[in-house]
Structure 1
Amino acid sequence: MDDGQRRVSWDVTDGLAHVRLDRPEKLNALDSAMFEALVAAGSELVHREDVGAVVLSGEGRAFCAGLDFAEFAAMRDRQGPRVDAPRAQVGAARTRGQQAAHVWSLVPAPVVAAVHGVAFGGGLQIALGADIRIVAPDARLSVREILWGLVPDMTGTQVLPELVGRDVAKELALTGREVSGEEAVALGLATRQAADPLAAALALAGEIAGHSRRATRHVKRLVDIAGRVGLAEGLQAEQDAIGELIGSPEQVAVVERRLAGR
């Protein structure tokens, strides 16, 4: 499927959705059409019951180089549409830029980002919307907005501290320095590295998609609320989930397959 003037392409095969930022000639730089396409793709996947896992990747030489230079020129000249204009709310996000990153946390299926080349600014924040990030060792990542006199405004200030700690989040956002894929893993900015992050992401997502779909969706939701709700509420959510799963047709089928394979 194609969205937004060929800005994003995606397909679903055997329960695995592969979403590709598809503007390789611009290193998948973000413009208004790309924001719209990302939100459209993510919003559709929110409702796809046939999807067990999602891979988010970039075509060409990079994952995403961040905001298109033309958008910066529009800011300078105070002309053109604002990419952060309020829209109908998507989850907790009201602006298109935030929604392009936040929508991936709303997709009930686990999302794995495959990062190669560069993930700068908004591109990094889109990757942070995924549940798991697999990066090439020589990938370059940067919270780059400060270099343009801006702040991370696509959920980055809210997501980064949870991943790397407040002090590291401030250091990255206050300097805009680049980190390699290897350092990103050490900092907690990425999950793990792989020489071929796309192949690794597809393999991992395929494994996840092969598990009980209801169970994997509950795992994502339960881990996401940890620390964001009170302990009693979190423990009750665990019990609600396990109560829904035990003895369900899907869980019984999993048990039967496991026992048959012993």
Structure 2
Amino acid sequence: MTITLDNPSRRNSQVPSLWAALADLAEGLDPGVRVVVLRGNGPSFSAGLDRGMLAPGGVEGEPELLGIAVDGPERTAERIEDFQRGFAAWASVPAVVVASVQGHAIGAGFQLALAADLRVVADDVQFAMRETSLGLVPDLGGTGPLVRAVGYAVALELCATGRFMGAQEAVARGLANVAVPLAELDATTADLVGALVDAPDAALRELKPLLASAATVAPGDQLRAEREAQGRLLNGLARAVGR
């Protein structure tokens, strides 16, 4: 499945209705889908939150963020939890999620790229977390994967300063898998998708959660997860040959 942000005149800026649509797609994903590609039309993957959301009155047809905030911190946090579903839900799908990223990936755009398992970037990519410059923090599920990818110190520096990270640094720090010229982004993404689809389906579906848990669970729990996954796969192989 390919999901395309398609508002290039606004650099694919984001609003809550988009987050709800992303959550619906993730939570209702056909179990037969093996790979999901997240991409954006135009010069940018996504320039982040539509700034109109932070203005009095907000954006027509969308919840007013400043209006939500006057309900108090607890009620505000409850609403943000709903917004987060559009990002966090991708970690739970059995499919491997690939972000194909060009141009600006700022704030919510950066966090959507971080919601993917793998990232292919064009050489013009510019990642940035700009929330702190607005007196806010990243709150759409991006802090965990960012720290896991680049480490606490680099994540703190990126978020606190709001500086831009380009393609080569993103690859060097492990944030992106590969950087290619913009003209080759679609073809490189397609090659990666093809390789993922060629992998044995059952093994790939066991592999994603197994590796995702490796950095956070106790060693004994990870060993158990490995042997249980392997047990299921070996059992499937035995049944396939009639044993």
Deviations 1:193-226 (A, max 9, x none): 1223232122211221222222111110100010
Q: Tell me the alpha carbon deviations over residues 135-163 of structure 1, each in whole angstroms, 9 at most, x when there is no partner.
A: 11111110111121111111222221111
> 2:114 is matched with which residue?
128
1:86 offset after TM fit, Å?
2.4
Root mean square deviation of aligned Cα: 2.4
- Could you say if the C-alpha distance between residues 29 and 250 of structure 1 is closer, same or farther in structure 2, counting changes exceeding 3 Å? farther
Is residue 78 of structure 2 the alignment partner of residue 86 of structure 1?
yes
1:33 matched to 2:21? The reply is no
SS at match of 1:86: helix
The one of 147, 164, 184 aligned to 2:133: 147
Distance 1:98 1:219 in 2: 25
Matched, 1:238 2:230: no
The one-letter code of the counterpart of 2:227 is Q
What pairs with 1:1-262 in structure 2 (closer than 5 Å)? 17-45=1-29, 48-74=30-56, 79-80=66-67, 86=78, 95-195=81-181, 196-248=184-236, 252=240
More divergent stretch after superposition (19-28 vs 122-131):
19-28
**SS where residue 55 of structure 2 aligns?**
helix
Deviation at 1:252, TM superposition (A): 4.6
Work out whether residues 142 and 176 of structure 1, in 8 Å CA contact, stay in contact via their aligned partners in 2: yes
**Number of paired residues?**
229
The change in CA–CA distance for 1:250 and 1:60 in structure 2 (over 3 A counts) is farther
Mean CA deviation greater in 165-174 or 145-154: 145-154
Q: Equivalent pairs: percent with the same residue?
A: 37
Q: Distance in 2 between matches of 1:178 and 1:75?
A: 30
Give the superposition deviation at 1:190.
Answer: 1.5
Deviations 1:43-92 (A, max 9, x none): 122xx22111111111122111100011121489974556x6626xxxxx
Gap runs ≥5 in structure 1: 1-16, 88-93, 254-262
Select the structure that is richer in strand: 1
CA distance in 2, matches of 1:250, 1:160: 40
Partners of 1:246 and 1:115 in 2: CA distance: 37
**Superimposed CA distance per residue, residues 207-251 of structure 1 (whole angstroms, 9 cap, x where no aligned partner):** 212222221111101000102111111111111111111142699
